[in-house]
Structure formats: structure tokens, C-alpha cells
């Protein structure tokens, strides 16, 4: 009976502020980079679904449980007009285009009195179809005043940031992917803010990276977690409680939440279908990452199956989310592996290859994976060598040479090479 009333209360708490919530057109402009930006206003962070259609070319943004305000049409660059359509439980924004464009997934920015909904697209760049990048949120656990687990001459917050930087580089330099760094340096970010940042920036996936510590130095190995109210093991339960208690603000009362925030706990009752799909997709993602971590001879596993635990940072109701425990820095072997670049790179590689396989199974519309050609394009950076590129993608140097007809020719910065994975 208690759970029933809790669910009812949560549903009311979410639905009440949305009764009068609306979306309205604010402005259109050309950014300093020459891109076209459309800005709309919301009264609170909302659930979005954005996609592009061809023949005729247009971008559509569905906004759940928000009424349609004043939608002014505009013409700027490839934008021909803007229309608003009111459905029973959503407002549909339709941006009619003169042709196909490169566009970014819309994101939300909280301001003092409002939330801005922003859509950007390239100006004066033609393409055969409307295309956008896949956005991956990378959450390096802990940071700043919160060191996380403490090992001998090694801190969890430093390990997670360095693994995150490895993953960021692979995503940044691979055509069709873009990283979103939840924390960019040694800074503290509240747990609730982490997945809010991911949603605000339009992330397609959320990956939280950690490294644990334990009183017994014999405990070691990596694990992959998906959110659940009930832990799948004693270890999972202990780890989730440990993360929760590092930040007392995590257990803030619902009444103290900013009305412009999106309350994940309440939303699970209101958006049950979206939530169930998120758990299913998160589990699929976790299994793909787990597969590559298990295949790495240098990364020992603590658990050989996906674990479930109540990690607050994974509670986003609509973004597939996983938490990767890269090892136990309280264990000498794990600490040595994670203190070195090769060990951290293998964790980052496992995550990247896992999420890439996930998008093969669950391709996002209007992205490179929507009609995957069977290869990726990597842009060579200063200091790159073929051996390190091969390690980064889990292939051999000889394969890269053959795929790109390199022969004995050296690679150079800015060169685009094919990686068949």
C-alpha cells in the first residue's frame, strides 16, 4: 500500500508543474562559427525526441507533456519555416528545411527563469540526407573535493578522469561520434547534476566510470552495472550505498528540487514505457561492454555478468546508462594496471567497442549507424602512430595498412583512415 501511494505522489509531483508548461519560439541567429541556431523557451526540463525526415526535408522535435505557446516562423539559412503542432500529450515542433543538413541533437540549458531548448545546424553545407553525430556522455566518477576510493599513491578521481580522457579522444576523432564530458577537470559535480547535464546536452548514452576500493586487498576485477532498485549481489549493494553516501545532497527532498529540473524518481511512474525501454537498452549496452572487457587478457573481471544496483548517477529515465567499475585500486594488481596508460586504454577501448556494437543493434536515426557502411573513419592526430591506433580500435597494424593501401607511406595529422569494425 505504501508503494502505491508513493507512486501516486510521485506522479502528481511531476504532472502538476507540467499542466501550465509550454514551449515558445525565442530567436534565431547565426553563431560565431557560422552555424544556424534556433532557440525556444521551456518552463522546465522536458523529455524530448528529435529526428529528421527527408522528401521534404525537415527536423522534428517532440516535447512530452508541454503545451504549445507562441511559435513564430522564421527564415534563416536552410530554415524555411517553423511550425508547431499540438498533440494530446506533446507539442511537435517542425522545422522545414530547404535541403538536407548536418544538425546537432537539441539540448536544454537551464537559466534563472527559464529553460532554453537549442537546435543548431550547419549553414551552407549540403549533404545527401539529414545527418547528426551520436552524443556519448562520459562521466568520470568523483572529482574535486571528492577523491573517491584511495589507494597507495593513487586516487579514484584521477584514474576515472584519465580513462575518460582516453575514451573522449577516440570518440572525438572518430567521424560520427561526439563526446560530452560531464566533468572536464578535477572538479566536483553533484550526482544529480551529472545525468541532468547529459540530458541538457542531448546525450544518446551515459557512461559513468569508476574504480573502487575495499578493505580486503585480495578483492579485484572490473564490473559493469545497470540501475535497479534492488541490487543483484552483496557487492553491488555495498558499492551503490558507498556512492550514495559520498554526497549528502543526493538525498535531497523532492520539495527542494528546482522546478526546472527533471525529477527522475517521479518520472518513472509517469513515463513507464520510456523507463522500461531505457533499462532494456542499458542492459544491452552493458553486455556489449562486458564482452570486450572479458576478452581483454589484461583486465580481470570481478563479475562475469552484468550487475544491478541503485546507483543514483544512473537514474536518468530516458538515457541508456551504465556504470563501469574499472577495478579495485585497493588491490595491488588492479592499482598497477590502472596507474599505467596501457591498462586505462584497455578499459576505454572496451567501453568504445561495446557502445559501437550497441549502436549496431540499436541504430539512432539520422546518424552514421542508421545505415552503417561497415567501417569507421578516424582522423589522425599529431603524435599518432599506427600501433596505438590499432590498440585503440582492437585491430592490427597490418589490417589498417591493407584497408587504407598505406604500404610504406607514413600517416600524417589530418589524414582520414578507415577502420573496419
Show Cβ contacts of residue 262 under 8 Å, excluding neighbours closer than 6 positions. 44, 45, 46, 47, 196, 199, 317
> What is the CB-side half-sphere exposure of residue 234 using CA atoms within 13 A?
0
> Could you tell me the fold of the domain covering 2-121?
Immunoglobulin-like (2.60.40)
The span from the CA of 322 to the CA of 205, in Å, is 9
Q: How far apart are CA 261 and CA 317, in angstroms?
A: 13
107 pLDDT band, cuts 50/70/90, is very high
- Say how far apart CA 82 and CA 381 lie, in whole Å: 40
E strand segments, 99-148: 107-110, 115-121, 134-140
pLDDT of 191 reads: 85
Residues 211 and 154: their CA atoms lie apart, in Å, by 11
Contact 68, 84 (CB under 8 A): yes
For the stretch 7-33, pLDDT in tens is: 443 443 444 334 458 999 999 999 999
> 199 falls in which pLDDT band (50, 70, 90)?
confident
pLDDT at 10: 45
Q: Give which of 363, 357, 290 is closest to 322, Cα–Cα.
A: 290
Alpha helices in 226-340 (DSSP H): 234-245, 264-270, 272-295, 332-339
Would you state the pLDDT for residue 204? 96
For residue 38, CA distances in Å to 101, 111, 376, 408 come to 14, 16, 30, 48
* Percent above pLDDT 70 for the chain: 88
User: Nine-digit cell at 237?
Assistant: 549493494
**Which CATH superfamily does the domain covering 134-361 fall into?**
Zn-dependent exopeptidases (3.40.630.40)
Residues 313-324 have a mean pLDDT of: 89
The pLDDT of residue 12 is 37
> What is the SS3 assignment for 246?
coil
Sign of CA pseudo-dihedral 133, 103, 261, 180: positive
Q: Where in the chain is the domain with CATH 3.40.630.40?
A: 134-361
241 vs 336, more confident: 336
Contact 26, 116 (CB under 8 A): yes
Lowest mean pLDDT among 124-138, 258-272, 407-421: 258-272
**Nearest 5°: phi and psi at 170?**
-60, -45
221 pLDDT above the threshold of 80:
yes
Distance CA 378, CA 175 (A): 6
pLDDT at residue 177 tops 80: yes
Question: In Å, what is the CA distance from 182 to each residue of 207, 243, 306?
Answer: 10, 17, 24
- pLDDT, mean over the chain: 87
* CATH ID of 373-419, from 3.10.350.10, 1.10.1530.10, 3.40.50.150, 3.30.565.40: 3.10.350.10
pLDDT digits (tens, 9 = 90+) for 375-421: 999 999 999 999 999 999 999 999 999 999 999 999 999 999 999 99
43/18 Cα distance (integer angstroms): 8
pLDDT at 316: 83
d(CA 263, CA 249): 14
Model confidence band, residue 254 (pLDDT cutoffs 50, 70, 90): very low
Asked whether 163 and 229 are in contact (CB, 8 A), the reply is no
Distance of alpha carbon 132 from alpha carbon 45, whole angstroms: 22
- Can you tell me whether residue 191 is helix, strand or coil? helix
Return the H-helix or E-strand segment holding 253: none
Amino acid at each position: 500500500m505504501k508503494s502505491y501511494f508513493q507512486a501516486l505522489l510521485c506522479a502528481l509531483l511531476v504532472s502538476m508543474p507540467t499542466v501550465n508548461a509550454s514551449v515558445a519560439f525565442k530567436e534565431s541567429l547565426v553563431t560565431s562559427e557560422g552555424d544556424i541556431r534556433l532557440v525556444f523557451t521551456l518552463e522546465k526540463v522536458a523529455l524530448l525526441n528529435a529526428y529528421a525526415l527527408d522528401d521534404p526535408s525537415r527536423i522534428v522535435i517532440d516535447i512530452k507533456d508541454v503545451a504549445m505557446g507562441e511559435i513564430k516562423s522564421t527564415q534563416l539559412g536552410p530554415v524555411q519555416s517553423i511550425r508547431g503542432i499540438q498533440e494530446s500529450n506533446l507539442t511537435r515542433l517542425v522545422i522545414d528545411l530547404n535541403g538536407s543538413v548536418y544538425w546537432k541533437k537539441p539540448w536544454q540549458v537551464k537559466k534563472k527563469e527559464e529553460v532554453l531548448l537549442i537546435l543548431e545546424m550547419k549553414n551552407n553545407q549540403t549533404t545527401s540526407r539529414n545527418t547528426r553525430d551520436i552524443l556519448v556522455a562520459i562521466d568520470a566518477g568523483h572529482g574535486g573535493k571528492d577523491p573517491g576510493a584511495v589507494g597507495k599513491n593513487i586516487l579514484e578521481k584521477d584514474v576515472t578522469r584519465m580513462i575518460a580522457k582516453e575514451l573522449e579522444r577516440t570518440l572525438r576523432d572518430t567521424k560520427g561520434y561526439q563526446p560530452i564530458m560531464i566533468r572536464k577537470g578535477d572538479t566536483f559535480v553533484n550526482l544529480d547534476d551529472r545525468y541532468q547535464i547529459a540530458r541538457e546536452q542531448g546525450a544518446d548514452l551515459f557512461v559513468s566510470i569508476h574504480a573502487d576500493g575495499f578493505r580486503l586487498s585480495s578483492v579485484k576485477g572490473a564490473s559493469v552495472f545497470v540501475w535497479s532498485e534492488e541490487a543483484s549481489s552483496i557487492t553491488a549493494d555495498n558499492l551503490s550505498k558507498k556512492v550514495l553516501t559520498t554526497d549528502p545532497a543526493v538525498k535531497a527532498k523532492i520539495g527542494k528540487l528546482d522546478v526546472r529540473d527533471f525529477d527522475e524518481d517521479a518520472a518513472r511512474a509517469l513515463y513507464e514505457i520510456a523507463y522500461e525501454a531505457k533499462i532494456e537498452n542499458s542492459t544491452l549496452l552493458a553486455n556489449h561492454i562486458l564482452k570486450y572487457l572479458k576478452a581483454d587478457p589484461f583486465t580481470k573481471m570481478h563479475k562475469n555478468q552484468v550487475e544491478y544496483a541503485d546507483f543514483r548517477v544512473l537514474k536518468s529515465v530516458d538515457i541508456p546508462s551504465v556504470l563501469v567499475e574499472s577495478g579495485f585500486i585497493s588491490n595491488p594488481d588492479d592499482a598497477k594496471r590502472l596507474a599505467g596508460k596501457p591498462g586505462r586504454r584497455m578499459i576505454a577501448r572496451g567501453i568504445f567497442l561495446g557502445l559501437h556494437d550497441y549502436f549496431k543493434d540499436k541504430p539512432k536515426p539520422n546518424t552514421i549507424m542508421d545505415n552503417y557502411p561497415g567501417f569507421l573513419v578516424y582522423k589522425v592526430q599529431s603524435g599518432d602512430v599506427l600501433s596505438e591506433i590499432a590498440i585503440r580500435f582492437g585491430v592490427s597494424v597490418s589490417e589498417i595498412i591493407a584497408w587504407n593501401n598505406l604500404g610504406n607511406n607514413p600517416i600524417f595529422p589530418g589524414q582520414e583512415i578507415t577502420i573496419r569494425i
